[in-house]
Chain A
Amino acid sequence: MTYLFVLALRSAWNRRLTLGFTLLAIALSVTLLLTIERLRVDARASFVQAVSGTDLVVGARGSPLQLILYAVFRIGSATQEMSWASAEAIAQHPAVAWTLPLALGDSHRDYPVLGAPRDYFRLLRHGDGEPLRFAEGVPYAGLFEVVLGAEVAERLGYRLGDRLILAHGGGHLAPEHADKPFTVVGILARTGTPIDRTLHVSLEAIEAIHLDWQGGAPIPGLTIPPELVGKFDLTPKSVTAVLVGLKSRAQVFAMQRWVQSYPDEPLMAVLPGVTLDQLWEIMAVAERSLLAVSALVAGVGLIGLVAVILAGLNERRRELAILRSVGAGPRRLMLLLALEGAVLTLLAIALGLALSHLLVLLVGPWLASQYGVWLRIAWPTAGQWLWLAAVFLVGLAASLVPAWRAYRLSLADGLTPQV
């Protein structure tokens, strides 16, 4: 009995080339299945990680999704502004560790301009809690200085010391703040988040370039030259949103209630993760089609397994006849074939798992920097285990087909296969 397994091993070794390719085919489909699933899970997580470390996003009351899309991803239409006094009040709240008031609205050649305090570069986290890093230069210190996101600098070819002009609002025909050019003092390293597409200036700079503006256009007859703006009070009057970090995550709902019931102004506080999850639901269709593709791929691999085993069976009828002649029963031979299929599928799954990890290891850093998708090396999720179990079961079932055929054949052939 045990010798039959020795023979099975040697027989498999004898057919190692064919079996090897079958193994590879299934392993590759498992790799694809696992990697696509990991991409799906981690893309979702990475999306949320564009504001990692931020517990609440506060803005004027309206649509939470719109606020998140505009304030974090710079997508969609501008939201109502909230007053500076409210932003100050939130910053003073005892539960709050830090706040980052953000002012959006201006642009430079279709890239959004963000007004933010200098702390922004120290406090903001992205990805897996990574801080911002400077590829070149330093944060802005002076009024008319700008820090560029990696993509802005790369696409528009700006270097440190270059001067550029901001436009009021967005679009090609937006009027320009031509009288107050900005100097590039810093360029951020790539993050794979919307930060890469943003030009950063101080909140005071945003205030300064709008001193002589009203209702979206320069006030006729009034121009305040750059050297004189320092004489004005440049404290912002309003901001677009405030990113809030809490001392303890446990206080997030209490803080949210506090903001929602703020008496002086209708405000809202949004948990970015929850809102982004809602957004992700909308994209579930795309997600499901990705899954369908990977299921198809796995299916093709398994059909290949059946095909190879069936094709090999005709060649093996002689071998089975010899084994029968020395006393191996048809059921035992059937078991042997089923076992071969099971072991092959298991090995392929293991190899697929290893390949998938290797792929994440090799491609992961590139994906993170280019697309902001942070792939993690991790054990398969519950869903992935289910997929793997399904692959194994189908593989087993697939090898039972030839096993059953071998059983029937070895009975019908008698001793001499009719081949």
Chain B
Amino acid sequence: MGLRVNGMDKWIEVLETLPERAPKAFADVVKRGGVQIKKDWQARWRAASHPKGHIPHLIRNLGFDESRSGWTFTATIGVQSGRMQTRLASIIEYGSLTSAPHPGGIPSLEAEAPKTEYWAGKVAVDLLEEAKEVHVPVPPG
């Protein structure tokens, strides 16, 4: 009596290379989402401001940061405090008692979340199918 396994070696190889391939691919998924949220947020504020631009520095100072802790990948998007016009950010995002808000952050996040979920699922499937690098198209920030 014996057991014969055919075709598993290839897949075992796929699984064994996951620890090297997966972090890069998932980090790129999160980075892609971060860049898209930043660009969307900038576009929303650009659309809300005067055509000649009341808040050019604020829009330019919208940035994002990526970090990783174990298997948690994080993108932080927002204005960098201490730069030009960044004190205006909360007035524009949340409004004041005399001016209505022009939210950019939350709508951008909600618009991007399903797309990031799609990419995470696609990357997970690609990683399990073949023992090769999986590339996520990250737009320039």
A binds B: no
